Amino acid sequence: MNDKERFMRCLRFEAADHVPNMEICLWAQTTERWRNEGMPADVPTDFMHGCDYFGLAGYDALHLNDTSPVPPLPERVLSEDEETVTFSDSFGRVRRALKTGTVGGTRMSMDTYLEFPVRDRATWREYRRHYLGDPSERYPADYGAAKARLAVSQKPVSLLEPLGGTPGYYSLMRDWMGTEGLSYLFYDDPALIQECAEFITDYVMRLLERALRDVRFDFHYIHEDMAGKGGPLMGPELFRRFFLPEYKKLIGFLRSRGVPLILVDTDGDHRPLIPAFLEAGVDGFGPIERAAGMDPVDLRRQYGKSVVMIGGVDKRAVARGPAAIDRELDEAVRPIIEQGGFIPCIDHAIPPDVSLENFRYYLGKKRELLGMKQE
């Protein structure tokens, strides 16, 4: 059984030789630490695409320029001191970043977002031109070779790159407006939010039509980072009013073009939104963030086979060492792993407080639960 067959059978609740062994990726700071602890420098750390060194399966994906403005906005440094740099990025956002601890362009804390390009109807009418161009401009120059590669891939093939942040409704609007600006506009100008949601549906369908005609995809991950530890950043009523109709259109479009599995990627506690997502036609979620109170066992108990899951292992437990790892796998994975529909992995990119030794121990214990032969 190859990786594609194993992945699809697992997430369809069908029998497989074992559950796929997958992880997501590392922080650059974690990569630096693990290399100091003995990991070879050439080991790929975007684990979502697989990693032979750690025995991890992965995905194949179509790489499009799917969320960024085209043409991009000019990037420039606005001010700088010993500790921070303030700059405008390719989305037209103004950000302040902490220099300390930066490794390979990855910072130890999130940037502070100071300004966003879309603030009202006038700025939206100007900004949206960046998404109105010929979709072919967003396809890679080697698209022909990419099509050929994906056609024969033995891995599950994702429509778009999950690591890159694929277009979602809340996530893309947040890139344009910011969390605070978007939150106000739901009430100050609901017609503008409705227009933006409809625009995103049209944009994504225009963008993907060519790829869906040329390639058979196994799944699509919609990026919707729209929740925190205290719950979602919008309530079910707003979701149903503004996003549910558009989700139904988009998912109907994807299904009609042969995409069998639709997943949503959001951090935080999005439990209040799960019924609406299911109504929209979503099959499941990741990364099931344990620090936000998400529990794969509770979700399975509540939703049964209506929800498939990828993630659900607390990164904090892996950092604490063997006893905590054993307890986490016993609580969050063991009770439901044999039911199918669940690919357990650490619930986000792996942070630098996780040692290489603890990660190896975790992988060994997880392999046992996945039904894999021990090496």
Please list the rounded mean pLDDT of every run of 10 residues in the chain (375 residues): 97 97 95 97 95 97 96 96 95 95 82 97 98 97 97 97 90 97 98 98 98 97 95 98 98 98 97 98 97 97 98 98 98 98 96 97 97 78
338 and 233 in a common domain:
yes
In this prediction, residue 40 carries a pLDDT of 98
224 and 111 in a common domain:
no
198 and 89 in a common domain:
no
231 and 82 in a common domain:
no
Convert the pLDDT of each residue in 77-102 to its tens digit.
999 999 999 999 999 999 999 988 88
Starting at the edge strand that comes first in sequence, how are the strands of the sheet with 261-265 ordered? Answer: 60-61, 157-158, 219-223, 261-265, 284-286, 308-313, 342-346
CATH of residue 303's domain is 3.20.20.210
Residue 355 sits at φ, ψ, to 5 deg, of -80, 160
Q: How far apart are CA 123 and CA 314, in angstroms?
A: 41
CA 242, 244, 247, 249 dihedral sign is: negative
In this prediction, residue 375 carries a pLDDT of 57
**Partners of 77 in beta bridges:** 87
For 101, the token pair is: 């601890």
**Which value, to the nearest 10 degrees, does the dihedral of the CA atoms of residues 268, 272, 117, 199 take?**
130
In this prediction, residue 100 carries a pLDDT of 86
Number of domains in the chain: 2
301 and 213 in a common domain:
yes
Q: How far apart are CA 94 and CA 117, in angstroms?
A: 9
In this prediction, residue 249 carries a pLDDT of 98
Convert the pLDDT of each residue in 343-368 to its tens digit.
999 998 999 999 999 999 999 999 99
For residue 323, being part of any structural domain is answered with yes
Q: How far apart are CA 14 and CA 123, in angstroms?
A: 49
pTM above 0.85, yes or no: yes
348 and 217 in a common domain:
yes
Residue 106 has what DSSP assignment? Answer: B
For residue 293, being part of any structural domain is answered with yes
In this prediction, residue 200 carries a pLDDT of 98
For residue 186, being part of any structural domain is answered with yes
For residue 259, being part of any structural domain is answered with yes
For 62, the token pair is: 């179509």
307 and 180 in a common domain:
yes
For residue 157, being part of any structural domain is answered with yes
Judge whether 374 and 365 are in contact, CB under 8 Å. no
141 and 88 in a common domain:
no
Domain boundary among 82, 116, 150: 116
204 and 81 in a common domain:
no
Which residues constitute the domain of residue 15? 3-70+118-370
Category of 293 on φ-ψ map: left (φ > 0), alpha (ψ -120 to 50) or beta: left
In this prediction, residue 105 carries a pLDDT of 77
Q: What is the CA radius of gyration of the chain?
A: 21
**Partners of 311 in beta bridges:** 344
Q: How far apart are CA 93 and CA 113, in angstroms?
A: 7
95 and 151 in a common domain:
no
Domain boundary among 85, 116, 147: 116
218 and 94 in a common domain:
no
In this prediction, residue 212 carries a pLDDT of 98
241 and 225 in a common domain:
yes
Nearby residues of 22 by Cβ (< 8 Å), 6 or more positions away: 47, 48, 56, 57, 58, 310, 343, 345
- Alpha helix (H) ranges present in the chain? 3-11, 28-36, 121-127, 143-151, 169-177, 179-188, 190-214, 236-238, 244-256, 274-280, 296-303, 315-320, 322-332, 356-370
Residue 132 has what DSSP assignment? Answer: S
For residue 375, being part of any structural domain is answered with no
